[in-house]
């Protein structure tokens, strides 16, 4: 496919991820590229994944799955439900095709993860997924059974005005299952909550790699508005 044809295929798709398809980027806006470059830096994934297996939960357009393949992973499995159902898989499939990728993909909910059917993985990515979950701990227990190495969780972390060291999490009924509650909010845990959930799910080593920034300001805003704030939280668990 020449550049012109590729650009017109890209233009016909609503993209979440800025994937470089041989010089043509699916979302070329500088701020989007910068955001993903920063995410890659903060996530601190191994630079060399030669021979490793990777599971990307909630892969959407596959940015992180393709990145792991680029870093040498021997097996990458991308799973998703909501985005692929709502917005389609055209982006993922186009990138897969153009990159000549061998990334496996399967429509599978995090709640359906099963070691017998998908196997185990050296690296498991759960990026931007936890706060979509109705039952986070139940999912983390399943994810533990397929993690033979490290799980990387990136999520919104809760920054309340008070009690930030307490294991708090906001209630979320699940995507498309609005509760009608006044403060509709995803399942967003404090750092302590995420650490304790991961330990409870069976991970013995839990390293907090990135904490919500501007905490003092967010706490002040939470106090003034009566609404907890959020920030990026990244944890590695094994």
Ligand X SMILES: C[S@@+](CC[C@H](N)C(=O)[O-])C[C@H]1O[C@@H](n2cnc3c(N)ncnc32)[C@H](O)[C@@H]1O
Kindly list the residues in this chain that would bind ligand X in the complex (CB under 6 A): 57-58, 60, 80-83, 109-111, 127-129, 132-133
Q: Kindly tell me which of 80 and 164 has the beta carbon lying closer to ligand X.
A: 80
Q: Kindly tell me which of 130 and 206 has the beta carbon lying closer to ligand X.
A: 130
Q: Identify the bridge partners of residue 207 per DSSP, sorted by sequence position.
A: 236
Q: Kindly tell me which of 81 and 145 has the beta carbon lying closer to ligand X.
A: 81
Question: How many residues belong to the chain?
Answer: 238
Q: Which residue is nearest to ligand X (CB)?
A: 58
Residue pair 83/57 in contact (Cβ under 8 Å)? The answer is no
Between the alpha carbon of residue 127 and those of residues 33, 59, 156, 160, 168, the distances in Å are 17, 8, 10, 22, 20
Shortest Å, Cβ 64 to ligand X: 6
Shortest Å, Cβ 52 to ligand X: 18
Shortest Å, Cβ 195 to ligand X: 20
Strand pairing report for 229-237 and 147-159: antiparallel
Q: Kindly tell me which of 29 and 111 has the beta carbon lying closer to ligand X.
A: 111
Residue pair 101/69 in contact (Cβ under 8 Å)? The answer is yes
Residue with tokens 């990135």: 210
- Both tokens assigned to 115: 């070691």
Q: Kindly tell me which of 219 and 236 has the beta carbon lying closer to ligand X.
A: 236
Shortest Å, Cβ 176 to ligand X: 10
- Both tokens assigned to 129: 């997924």
Distance CA 124, CA 216 (A): 32
Shortest Å, Cβ 189 to ligand X: 16
Q: Kindly tell me which of 10 and 57 has the beta carbon lying closer to ligand X.
A: 57
The beta strands (E) that lie in 93-185 are given as 104-107, 121-127, 147-159
Shortest Å, Cβ 31 to ligand X: 15
Between the alpha carbon of residue 158 and those of residues 81, 146, 168, 187, the distances in Å are 25, 27, 8, 9
């Amino acid at each position: 496919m020449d550049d012109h044809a590729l650009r017109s295929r890209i233009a016909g798709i609503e993209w979440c991820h800025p994937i470089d398809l041989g010089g043509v980027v699916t979302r070329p806006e500088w701020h989007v590229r910068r955001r993903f470059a920063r995410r890659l830096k903060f996530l601190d994934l191994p630079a060399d994944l030669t021979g490793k297996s990777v599971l990307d939960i909630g892969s959407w357009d596959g940015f992180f799955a393709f990145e792991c393949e680029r870093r040498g992973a021997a097996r990458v499995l991308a799973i998703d439900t909501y985005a692929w159902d709502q917005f389609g898989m055209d982006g993922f499939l186009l990138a897969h095709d153009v990159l000549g990728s061998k990334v496996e993909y399967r429509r599978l909910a995090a709640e359906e993860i099963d070691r017998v059917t998908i196997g185990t993985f050296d690296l498991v990515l759960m990026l931007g997924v936890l706060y979509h979950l109705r039952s986070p701990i139940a999912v983390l227990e399943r994810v533990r059974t397929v993690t033979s190495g490290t799980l990387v969780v990136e999520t919104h972390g809760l920054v309340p005005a008070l009690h930030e060291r307490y294991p708090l999490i906001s209630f979320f009924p699940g995507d498309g299952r609005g509760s009608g509650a006044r403060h509709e909010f995803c399942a967003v845990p404090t750092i302590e909550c995420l650490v304790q959930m991961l330990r409870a799910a069976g991970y013995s080593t839990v390293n907090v790699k990135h904490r919500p920034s501007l905490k003092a300001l967010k706490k002040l805003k939470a106090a003034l508005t009566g609404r907890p704030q959020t920030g990026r939280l990244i944890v590695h668990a094994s």
